[in-house]
Chain A
């Protein structure tokens, strides 16, 4: 990271290129600017903890109770400007009228963040029923069941549309195989329900097979979603990389998060052509534990490490990641969701101590 190089050239590449083109970094005097969307529930407090890094945050608050879309449009504009964002989950109130779209969904579709990547790994210090889990879940993020296209032609009969398109399926399959190749993974499993939804999931499966033929060194197989979930709870070690449409991705990623220790541990990343947004893997608002200093900050802090990796600040990312792992393995310092007694601030303090003891450049605590 050289302070003087504030100018970078953005090369425009075709859609299926080997690397995602990076947005022009919002770097001023060597410090990056990243959009921060606190969201609701536990996220605002965690975001505060993340601020102590060498990144400037542009905070955009999104109020989930208002019906107008101004807030989220401002947030989207800020993300377009900065290229990268860290966000908490914005609550979708069931009581609001159906014309009010989910804010998180709006953000994802407007910025075309088509790939949601979640890496579930068993952490050494966390006691779980299963060991040695290392699953990468790549989930299509913009279509499928989340199109928000519903109508009630006849009163009492609702039709929801689930859209599967060839272009998006090819795109997500290509992303999955490219990521698998980059990370040296051996197997990609497509999760589907093509025995029932023959055209829809059949198309998805076909696209995956097409892309798989271009990656002969990677094994490709497919599994029906019900069998997948059953295998996940009995023998999760058999899975390597999984690619799937939106709804199955939601369910499977939550199952995997539960297997490695819960929603407080797993970070998630949403990648698009031009933008990247980082958040907790399971997108919980956690309203019941907000403001009580009991939330687990690990997921959000690991998400910020993913953000730092994306900004090529690898040294910082590994420093913080190492500190987090050190803290987690001292089993005394777990938060309530992992069965420990620690509070959020205690855990964060311990992480900052670990960072200070290993790294040279920190602000005084």
Chain B
């Protein structure tokens, strides 16, 4: 089987460094291995030391709230049925408590396994502001800096727009989601939006590398630099710098309000889009709406060392939970992306084809 030879070749590479059994040493020295990789900008090929025991991968599973648990149960069913060599380590995160133990356990599990599949964890508005969004905490602690969403029109789904094929790359760790707010004067709240050169360069580099790998022709940066001159101006400048190193790819930029208007009238003009956090949130939701809704699009969060897969629009879907009406497509396609990441491409294509066949039979 492919996985056995993969394990064998992996152990040949790793054993000179560790001289011990593959499984345990990788688990213990996992962090050291990654620190030896001093090359900072790596995408896609940077697989964490695989948590493979006897040819089976271990993946962290975080059910989350709302429709997450039922969808992930279905994913497990499908995997079991297809004999996919993946074991799930389930970690529950309770969004109703104020302590951060749950999410810290989840983060430790992901560090151990390297890969995770998660449902969305609800962020209750009623809790005090010191309780940070659990999803956000997960993304920043693991430094999952790139959120990648591929929106494609599916043939069997009726939508108002056809032939959409947009790849959205969104900065995932800074921007408006820093959770840095304060109320110096009562009645006046200041929220800080942070843009840094290093994060912007990193995400721009990721975007261009991905565009090149997938053979894409154009990258569009979405910004609001006419108003936020320093912040988005810095982001735009970093994108331009990186673009100069990729002469085969066309680079242009567009202001976010014009972008959203173009998206609802002529979405076919966009190819790859890169943007900071908040605009990414809005634009990815618009695109998800254009191709058929939140139940169809999978999303992936990549970091240097870890990868977490989920539905692209991160809905908890509490109003439709436990009613057997949620659309499992997004979660199943996300699990296919995970299988691709683990290099189990055979299984990934089998499941993906099955999902698409079912979608296209509009019954």
Contacts and interface: CB of A to CB of B under 8 A. Distances in A.
B260 A229 contact: yes
Interface of A: 92, 94, 98, 102, 105, 129-130, 145-146, 148, 150-152, 155-167, 193-200, 202-203, 205, 225-227, 229-234, 247, 250-251, 253-255, 257-259, 262-263, 282, 284
Interface in B188-211: 188-198
B56 interface: no
Interface in B231-278: 231, 233-234, 236, 256-258, 260-265, 278
A200 B181 contact: yes
Contacts of B179: 196, 198
B226 interface: yes
B125 interface: yes
B227 A105 contact: yes
Most chain A CB within 10 A, of B177, B179, B227, is at B227
A158 B194 contact: yes
B181 A166 contact: no
A280 to B, nearest CB: 12
A254 B258 contact: yes
B225 interface: yes
A284 to B, nearest CB: 7
Interface stretch (B2-10, B80-88, B280-288): B280-288
Contacts of A253: 257
9 contacts: A98-B229, A152-B230, A158-B231, A159-B194, A159-B231, A160-B194, A194-B125, A227-B285, A254-B258
B228 interface: yes
Nearest to A252: B260
A258 B227 contact: no
B55 interface: no
Contact of B181 (A94, A150, A167, A198): A198
B197 A156 contact: yes
A231 B289 contact: yes
Contacts of A194: 125
Main secondary structure of the interface of A (DSSP, over half): mixed
A229 B289 CA distance: 8
A160 B192 contact: yes
A145 B227 contact: yes
Closest 7 CB pairs between A and B? Answer: A156-B197, A166-B187, A233-B289, A258-B264, A258-B261, A230-B289, A150-B230
Contacts of B186: 166
A233 B265 contact: no
B189 A165 contact: yes
Contact of A203 (B160, B189, B230, B256): B189
A225 B282 contact: yes
Contacts of B230: 98, 150-152, 158, 160
A165 B258 CA distance: 28
Contact of B261 (A94, A167, A255): A255
B195 A158 contact: yes
Nearest to A204: B189
Contacts of A129: 160-161
Given A161-B190, A226-B285, A259-B264, A150 B229 contact: yes
Contact of B256 (A159, A205, A251): A251
Given A129-B160, A166-B188, A251-B282, A226 B313 contact: yes
B123 A195 contact: yes
A258 B261 CA distance: 5
Nearest to B180: A159
